[in-house]
Structure formats: structure tokens, C-alpha cells
Structure 1
Amino acid sequence: MKTLGTTLALTLLTASAVQAHVTITMEGGQRCITSDGVPDHDTGPWREGATVEAQDHRFCMDATPELTDTVTQRVRISGITVTGIPLRPGTAEYYDPSSDRGYSRDPSSGWNVEGIGGLIMDAQNAHVDGNGMYHYHGIPSAVTGELDSTLFGYAADGFEIHYMGDQAQSSWQLKGGERESGPGGPHDGTYVQDYEFVAESGNLDECNGAMLNGQYVYFATDTYPFFPRCFKGTVSPDFIGGRGDRPPREFIGGRGDRPPREDG
């Protein structure tokens, strides 16, 4: 397994990175992060009427995670930053030529819309869902630029997520040539299926992980997949599902005046 090195001191929390509305506690072997979900930086704009609303976030995950023999492929939320904002890189939208928007929640096309490159984001690569929940799909420079260490957040299975700029390189690459089905056109990153994992093309594994200072961790990267989208530890139920069994849907400004009630 590849190893990345760093000379930066790792601290749990820093005054510049965490505001008063975020708390991190240790409870019975779990690390719990609570926050109101309101970032300490500018947000938007998106569709008119889309605004950030305070949340009652509480995410608990294993404080001493261990690697397992299985890999969990998809969760509702990938992790949470030390500033208390969820990481949700995936979407529940698919290419659909019959939709006015060009996509819908019908997965039959097999072409899953990628958040970064396919949907509307603000300057911090984030937006809100229909309930005003702010979440990142890509790297928020307002957060990474203020960290006093490389520790960026915690993944759904409890492993740390670090941001090290170009020192951590994803092994997911854009495919060459044209799409042979669905929307057609070049593989430009609009859809998840535009990417493929090319082992050792970067220094991270398929889940955006590697060894750091003797510990397995994940990395937030400037390129796809941005945050881990598969998990090698035991995923906390706090990060799975949502309201009901259906995956949430992105609020990027569809038809009508009311936003969808879910996000993904």
C-alpha cells in the first residue's frame, strides 16, 4: 500500500478551522461531530430561493477504525469536515433525454450525473438541498486554506480525511474517446461513467486512500473523486440512507417554485 509523508503537525481542532457552532466529542469509542451546518464563508448563489438553513447535524463514527475485508461502495454522506459540513460528492441524477433538464432520477440510462461538472455549485464547490442543507461536492478552498494541519474531516467509517494539495493524486482518470451510448460526446466529466480507475496512475487507491504516518487515511483531492466514495472500514449508520429508503435528490433548480425535498 502506498505511503504519503508529511512534516505538518496534525491537530484535532484549530481555532481557525472550527467555529463555536461545531463540537467534536468522544463517546463510548465513537467520535461524534455536531453542528448547525452553517459554514463560516460566503455561499451561493444558486437558483432563486435556495438558501442555507441551520441543521441539527450529529454524525458519530468509529474513533479507532480498522480496515475490513469488504468495501462499502455507496453511502448517503461520505464524511464530514472538521468545520461541521457534510461531504456528499455523489448525486441521484441520471441522464434522461425525456426530461426538460436533461436528467432525472430514472437510472435506466446508466449515466449518473457527476456533481462537479454536471450540477450548479457555488465558489466552494457546494450547494444546498431542498431542505437547505449545505454540503460540499468538491474542495472548498475557504476551508482548506484556513487549516493549520492537513486534517480536513472524517469519513463515514471513521478514518481521517486529509487535504495535501497536489501531494495526493487520485488514480481515477477521464476515459479517452467518445461515449458509446447515452448522451454521446467526449468523456468530459459530466457523468461518473466518464471516469475509470487506473491503478498506480496516482498515489491513492480506489477509495482515495493511502498510508500516512503509519495509518490508513483518505484524502480530499482537487480532481475526481474529490472525496472517498468507497470505504474500507465499517461505515456508521449515521451516514447511510436518509429520509425513507430512497436516495436524496440534488436541488439545482428544477421546474416549479418549490425545491425538491431531498438531495443526493
Structure 2
Amino acid sequence: MIRLLVLAGLMTVAVFLKSSPGHTANSVNISTKGDQRCISSNGTPNHTIGTFPNRGNPHRFRAQKVTYCVDAMPRDTGRITHRTNASGISLTGIPFRPGTADFYDASSPRGFSRDGSSGWRLEGMGAADMLGMDRQNAHVDHRGLYHYHAPAPALIASLKGTLIGYAADGFPIHYVGDSVKPSWQLKPGKRPTAPHGRYDGTYEQDWQHVAGSGNLDECNGAIVDGNYVYFATDSFPFFPRCFRGTVSQDFLGRP
């Protein structure tokens, strides 16, 4: 069991609605019915976003209906689920999606594509410039859906307490800066195949989990006051990328 000292007000939930210049104001509804907690929004964040399209991202932002439901009372299942289409959903109704669908591809003019044959998946923040991330560590996908690849400074500043959202299995996600340390490390040495070069975080496969090297587990979580929670961190993996509870079907379809 891992014990952490977490900031006061751990379970405080507060959502402030602000306009993003040039876009509709954030609109979000959080409801609990039975054993499900649902967060619905118009897909518009409560802060200013970058310019889309841009050099690294050809897509245009579009407000749209977003709804994710998760277990309101999640339990550790004793097994771990790894790949989902999103890690969680913020209290403002914006998805957390740290992973990407792009891989190194020397034959592509951009140097990457959806062809996964190289085995080297672009890491969202490691390839932030290539993927056109804005100052909130976010960009838009082919549908125009805005989503975070790492904790967003403006989102964190707008909320009271440390709770910023819920993971795909319903466990809470808290942001406490550098008060917690992930157990993921860059691999030593160089990549054995193209794109070669030193492991520098550009690709997801540059990282490895080293148990005990931090105070969080493989899924970026820990036990706090007897309850399991995930953490959003300033370093890889940024958000949980695996899950100890039952993952909602809303996170298992196509992104």
C-alpha cells in the first residue's frame, strides 16, 4: 500500500464556466444516477484554446455533444485494462487522451502516419510540436474534438481542490503538481530500429515502468486514506494509461 500526503480539500468539486474567446461558453452537467456518474458537455473548454488548424494539426475546433459515464463507486477488479480511447473526462467535460494513433513512418511526408508497422507510437507531449499542441497541452482530432494530452494549466487554475476529473473506470483523478512522482523512466541507450536515436520521449516506447522508482504505480495511482486514486502529473505518463477498475464502455469504442 502506498501512502501519500495530499493537499487539503482532496475531494472538493467545483466547476467554473468561462467563455473561450471566439467560441461558445463551456456548458457541463455532472449527474449521478444509480451506480453511474455521467459528465456531459458541449466539448468546449472553460478557457482560451490555441489556433486550429495549425502547422502540426490540420483540423478545426468544433463544439459538439460529449457524454461519458463511469462507475460512481468504482472497485479494484484485481486486473488491469490497458488500451482505451481516452483516459478519463475532466470536470468541465473535456476528454483526457494522453495517447496518440500516430506512428513513426519514414515513407510519410510528415514522418508519421496511422501505419503502426514501425512499432514506434508518437507520444503526445514528446511530439507536441509535431502534433500542433496548444499552451494547454491539447489539440483537436479529425472531428474537431478538443482533448488534453497532459494537465492543462488553465483547467487546474479554474478548479478548487485537486480533483480535476474521473478516469475511465470511475476512480478520481487528482492533480497535485510535483507532490507525487510517477514510476516511469526513459530507457537508457538508443532505439534499436528506425527512427533510431536516443530514447528521448518522442515515442511512447521510449518509456518503461520501473517499479519503486516513484511513489505511484504503473497506472499512475496510489492508495490515499484507504481509497485508490489516480494522479495527473507533470511528467510521463501525465494521466493514467491503464486502469484497475471496470472500464466504462464509453471509453472502449473508437476515439
- Matching residue of 1:2: 2
> In structure 2, the residue corresponding to 1:116 is in which secondary structure?
coil
| Rounded Cα–Cα distance in structure 1 between residues aligned with 2:12 and 2:89 | 14
Whether the aligned pair in 2 keeps the contact of 1:17 and 1:148 (CA below 8 Å) is no
| Rounded Cα–Cα distance in structure 1 between residues aligned with 2:9 and 2:207 | 34
> In structure 2, the residue corresponding to 1:145 is in which secondary structure?
helix
1:183 aligns with 2:195: yes
Whether the aligned pair in 1 keeps the contact of 2:12 and 2:160 (CA below 8 Å) is no
- Matching residue of 2:103: 94
Instruction: Describe how 1:1-264 pairs up with structure 2 within 5 A.
Output: 1-16=1-16, 21-48=27-54, 50-118=59-127, 119-242=131-254, 248=255
Shift of 1:103: 1.1
Shift of 1:186: 1.0
Structure 1, unpaired ranges of 5+: 243-247, 249-264
> In structure 1, the residue corresponding to 2:126 is in which secondary structure?
helix
Shift of 1:11: 4.2
| Rounded Cα–Cα distance in structure 2 between residues aligned with 1:36 and 1:8 | 31
Shift of 1:107: 1.1
> In structure 1, the residue corresponding to 2:250 is in which secondary structure?
helix
Equivalent pairs: percent with the same residue?
A: 54
Shift of 1:7: 4.1
Shift of 1:139: 1.3
Task: Render the CA deviation track for 1:60-85: whole Å, top value 9, x for unaligned.
Answer: 11000000121101000110011111
| Rounded Cα–Cα distance in structure 2 between residues aligned with 1:7 and 1:123 | 25
Whether the aligned pair in 2 keeps the contact of 1:17 and 1:147 (CA below 8 Å) is no
Q: Which amino acid aligns with 1:28?
A: G
Whether the aligned pair in 1 keeps the contact of 2:17 and 2:26 (CA below 8 Å) is no
Whether the aligned pair in 1 keeps the contact of 2:15 and 2:92 (CA below 8 Å) is no
Q: Which amino acid aligns with 2:4?
A: L
| Rounded Cα–Cα distance in structure 2 between residues aligned with 1:146 and 1:176 | 38
Shift of 1:148: 1.2
Q: Which amino acid aligns with 2:115?
A: D
What TM-score, normalized to structure 1? 0.88
> In structure 2, the residue corresponding to 1:124 is in which secondary structure?
coil
Shift of 1:188: 0.8
RMSD of aligned Cα (Å): 1.6
Q: Which amino acid aligns with 1:25?
A: S
Q: Which amino acid aligns with 2:98?
A: P
| Rounded Cα–Cα distance in structure 2 between residues aligned with 1:114 and 1:7 | 29
Shift of 1:12: 4.8
- Matching residue of 2:21: none
Shift of 1:47: 2.9
Whether the aligned pair in 1 keeps the contact of 2:7 and 2:162 (CA below 8 Å) is no
